[in-house]
Amino acid sequence: MILDKINKTGDVKNIPENELPMLSQEIRDFLVQKLSVTGGHLASNLGTVELTIALHRSLNLPEDKIVWDVGHQCYTHKILTGRKNDFDNLRKFGGISGFPKKSESDTDCFDTGHSSNSISAGLGMVKARDLRGEDYTVVSVIGDGALTGGMAYEALNNAAKLETNFIIILNDNNMSISESIGGMSKYLGHIRTMDGYLNLKADVYKQLSGQTRVIEKIRHVKNNFKQFFVPGMLFENLGITYLGPIDGHNEALLEHELQEAKKVKKAVMLHVITKKGKGYEPAEKHPSRFHGAEPFNIENGIPAHHRKVAAYQDIFSTVMWKLGERDPRVCAITAAMADGTGLKRFRNKFPDRFFDVGISEEHAVTFAAGLAEGGMRPVFAVYSTFLQRAYDQIIEDVCLQNLPVVLAIDRAGLVGSDGETHQGIFDLSYLSSMPNMHIMAPKNKWELSDMLKFAVNFDGPIAIRYPRGEAYAGLVDWRAPIEMGKAEPIFEEGGVLLLAVGSMVKTAVMVREILAAQGIACSLTNARFVKPIDEEYILSVADKHPLIVTMEENVLSGGFGEKVRSLLGEKGRNTKIMNIGIPDQFVTHGSPDTLMAMLGIDEKSIAQKIKAELDRMEDKR
């Protein structure tokens, strides 16, 4: 196999040109084989094989830099930099990440995971290169989906000022920018990068120095000509040289265009057309399903493990659909995640009230604020990690005006295989700091339904955070009506009080069983609200329990436990309190169960901590 010759960075440069098509096919076969077992981002990686090979043959890594936007399309890059033998442990605890990681390789120049930041990061590297008098090439690779993010346009606006080389590759797999018109665009793309043209252009402007009116007339005629023939005039008008569009699966052409782009002494955009999922029919037909694929059967692409239990996203989907039927004010918003968040049914049933705003969470929140101001009841369904991008908009445009916007925060807590950039472990902390914000977390699938119904009828900003995956179906007999700021006592037995938030109620049930087997009595309360916390209830039970244990799948700093501790301190209560949560650190990739054990927030670790604390308390008596 040709792929056997690729064992370290630079090996791909030694592969004869006539063998590159076969190498591309072998890489695709390798990715399908490995990801059918481990899962991962398949469709996006199948679409960028030739592009990645061309980049590696045209650049000198690690001296040159490639910034991958989002980074979920970097698998071929990892293969070409000596990591193909690590793919059996892709996204597993202790294995390689599914995203670029500087700690893995010096060819990964920037840790990424969220979108629309590659141009900003690349531009910063270009400026650092020039300020330090160094000479290397910087390439930012951004997809057409990520180009919907406002940050990308802020960076493009700034990059237009450059008088030095910076290559931006637009990986377009949806034909989001119109095709070129005939051969004239290709001709102009080549002639603008030819040495003779560039030198002639510079000489003409130099000779006409001071002849402002003549220069402006030349520029006016040239721009009018280019606007008629060149599809990339949006970028040209910003001051960025545009090349393309070109076939992103023609490796030889890509190499040629990259060499041409390196000649331009300014920001240059190379527009590349690719096919998401290329080479594997199920992924070509269903690219969204194979964006972040679970393990699957190679023959037909069907998931290897059929889900038999409803996920929280399924519950959310059903309730939103019913709410849309009952209340014409209810609207749904997503930032390019309609399938992932469970809004597909709502979109199909109520297309006029469904809004996919693309990868632009900041806009989504302010757009929701505008809908609320206009009398609608918007629900913005968003992954916890991506909501972080809209921090300012939640404060300024929603909370400040006390508008009835519902934040349905999906993938809250530890999400597992995607690692540091995707763990949803900060939302309770940053949302709690905002005046007028209200925060709920359901203990099971029925409570998610009840909380969503409560939220769309609440006159103010309100957030519901729920985890990824299987919806807890326990505690079916406990379904007290939702009341603002009120907790739900479940088991009242004295002894230790387990005061748990959302997904940690299930864990608390198991902790209680472990301690009961050791003769330790435990009460258990479902906190329900993180803001406002149920102060009246907490103070009423504080003197009845020698130890209160708060449990949350969120960082401890600024979280629910800190609020309870602060309340007891302010009121002069001496009740011993233990806060269980995620320590002040970023959390790597791995299964949620593995990560919870590593962090000491699984049922066994918590039970051990409680037993040890009770023993210490007994020793002090």
Q: Is the dihedral of CA 593, 595, 598, 603 positive or negative?
A: negative
Q: Say how far residue 609 (Cα) sits from the centre of its chain.
A: 33
Pull the structure tokens for residue 338: 């309609």
Catalytic residue from among 26, 255, 361, 562: 361
| Residue of 389, 443, 506, 531 with catalytic role | 389
Structure tokens that stand for 544 in this block: 């009845």
What strands lie across the sheet with 496-500, from one edge to the other? 488-491, 522-526, 496-500, 547-555, 576-582
Find out whether 614 and 496 touch, Cβ atoms under 8 Å: yes
In this structure, what token pair is assigned to residue 450? 């009840």
Active site residue 389: yes
CA dist 44 and 31 (Å) reads 11
Q: What is the largest CA-CA distance in the chain?
A: 94
- Give the Å distances, CA to CA, from 529 to 154, 310, 412: 38, 24, 15
Q: Is 468 a catalytic residue?
A: no
> Bridge-partner residues for 489, per DSSP?
525
Alpha helices in 400-444 (DSSP H): 427-432
Q: φ, ψ for residue 158 (rounded to 5)? A: -75, -40
Indicate if the alpha-carbon torsion angle 62, 63, 64, 70 is positive or negative.
positive
Query: Cα separation of 474 and 483, whole Å?
Result: 21
d(C-alpha 224, C-alpha 393), whole Å: 39
Nearest Cα residue to 512 out of 489, 495, 532: 495
**Active-site annotation holds for 361:** yes
> For 326, how many CA atoms within 13 A lie in the half-sphere containing its CB?
10
**Quick one: angle between helices 118-131 and 150-159, nearest 10?**
30
Cβ atoms within 10 A of the Cβ of 227, count?
12
Q: Quick one: tokens of 595?
A: 């990560």
| Helices 49-58 + 20-38 axis angle, to 10 | 120
Taking each helix axis as running N to C, give the angle between helix 184-191 and helix 212-229, from 0 to 180 degrees, rounded to the nearest 10: 140
DSSP string, 368-393: HHHHHHTT-EEEEEEEHHHHGGGHHH
Number of C-beta neighbours around residue 450 at 10 A: 18
Look up residue 48 and give its amino acid.
Answer: T
Residue 413, Cβ density class (10 Å: 0-12 exposed, 13-18 middle, ≥19 buried):
buried
* DSSP output for 188-239: HHHHTTSHHHHHHHHHHHHHTTT-HHHHHHHHHHHHHHHHHH-TTHHHHHHT
Q: What is the DSSP letter of 106?
A: T
- For the annotated catalytic residues, the residue numbers are 276, 361, 389
